[in-house]
Amino acid sequence: MKKLVAGNWKMNLLPSQVGDYARRFLAEVGKLEGVELLLCPSDTALPAAVEAFSGSNVFVGAQNMHSVCSGAFTGETSGEMLLDLGVTHVLLGHSERRHVFAEDDELIHTKLVLAHELGLKPILCVGEKQEQRESGSTERVLREQFEGSLGKLPAELLAATVVAYEPVWAIGTGLTATPEIARQAHAFLRSLLVEKLGEVASTVPILYGGSVKPANAAELMSQPDLDGVLVGGASLKPESFAAIAKAALKT
């Protein structure tokens, strides 16, 4: 499977900055084959990103969506609205959604089902907090999040989902998981997929996220069961995100 290199701009970069970013990024990676590229800007930058990357090898995704398609939900954005813009992917259950915005597995599951119904490709994030790792509960937490958000999905929808392992302690901290820690967590997530899907489990991409940088991307992506990366801070500069995309080809 091709590696998937995805960028999550979070609440950064203005719509007016997208054109310059796209020019510089595409100058580096516009002809890159053998790797799948995805950028997830903030909602307000999505139209500019869809336009700037149309016809290129870069997909555009959203960072979240609401659990229903329309209605009295002031301030929210629905999957149907994203689709109408030309967005193809959506991040769901990112640790900031779980821990800052109190999203639980049940809500994330509802969003996942809706994303699939609409034809948006969901990237479901799971990951343990520092104290959970220290108390030896990493696998229990990963299993709970996996079961709670994905467990009830029909097999064909589960098989069409991207999973991202993002240990909370590694996000935005500079504390990247060691290749060994990532390898173990990815092997565990793969085993959960095998329980549900059997052989098909090997076709579901499992991304790693948490302080990925140009300097550590190739080593991480060389680990078994690590099918790409989800990059926050290092995706804000087109040259560093491009370097991570190129690192995927060395693995």
At residue 232, what is the residue type?
A: G
CA–CA distance, 147 with 144 (Å, rounded to integer): 5
Angle CA 17–165–195, to nearest 5: 140
CB of 80 to ligand PGA, least distance (A): 25
Please check whether residue 119 is in contact with residue 87, taking contact to mean a CB–CB distance below 8 angstroms.
no
Which of 75, 193, 174 minimizes the C-alpha distance to 126?
Answer: 193
Could you say which of 65, 163, 207, 212 contacts ligand PGA (CB under 6 A)?
Answer: 212
- The smaller minimum CB distance to ligand PGA, of residues 52 and 207, is found at 207
Q: Is 166 a catalytic residue?
A: yes
Q: Is 89 a catalytic residue?
A: no
# residues contacting ligand PGA (CB under 6 A): 13
Could you say which of 99, 172, 191, 222 contacts ligand PGA (CB under 6 A)?
Answer: 172
How is 209-224 classified by DSSP, letter by letter? ESS--HHHHHHHHTST
* Residue among 36, 66, 89, 94 flagged as catalytic: 94
- The smaller minimum CB distance to ligand PGA, of residues 228 and 232, is found at 232
Beta carbons within 8 Å of 135's beta carbon, 6+ residues apart = none
Beta carbons within 8 Å of 160's beta carbon, 6+ residues apart = 116, 121
Could you say which of 166, 177, 206, 223 contacts ligand PGA (CB under 6 A)?
Answer: 166
Which of 135, 191, 198 minimizes the C-alpha distance to 165?
Answer: 191
Q: How many other C-beta atoms are found inside a 10 Å radius of the C-beta of residue 231?
A: 28
Among the listed ranges 16-24, 126-134, 203-211, 241-249, the one in contact with ligand PGA (CB under 6 A) is 203-211
Restricted to residues 63-102, the positions that interact with ligand PGA (CB under 6 A) are: none
The alpha-carbon radius of gyration of the chain (Å, integer) is 17
CB of 236 to ligand PGA, least distance (A): 9
Please check whether residue 1 is in contact with residue 224, taking contact to mean a CB–CB distance below 8 angstroms.
no
* Residue among 36, 96, 128, 166 flagged as catalytic: 166
Restricted to residues 222-251, the positions that interact with ligand PGA (CB under 6 A) are: 230-234
Is 214 a residue that touches ligand PGA (CB under 6 A)?
no
Is 171 a residue that touches ligand PGA (CB under 6 A)?
yes
At residue 202, what is the residue type?
A: S
Is 119 a residue that touches ligand PGA (CB under 6 A)?
no
At residue 239, what is the residue type?
A: E
Report how far apart, in Å, the C-alpha atoms of 29 and of each of 17, 42, 103, 127, 144 are. Answer: 18, 22, 35, 30, 38
- The smaller minimum CB distance to ligand PGA, of residues 38 and 231, is found at 231
The residue with its CB nearest to ligand PGA is 232
Among the listed ranges 65-73, 166-174, 188-196, 197-205, the one in contact with ligand PGA (CB under 6 A) is 166-174
CB of 5 to ligand PGA, least distance (A): 12
Q: Which residues bind ligand PGA (CB under 6 A)?
A: 8, 166, 171-172, 209-212, 230-234
Q: Which residues are catalytic?
A: 94, 166
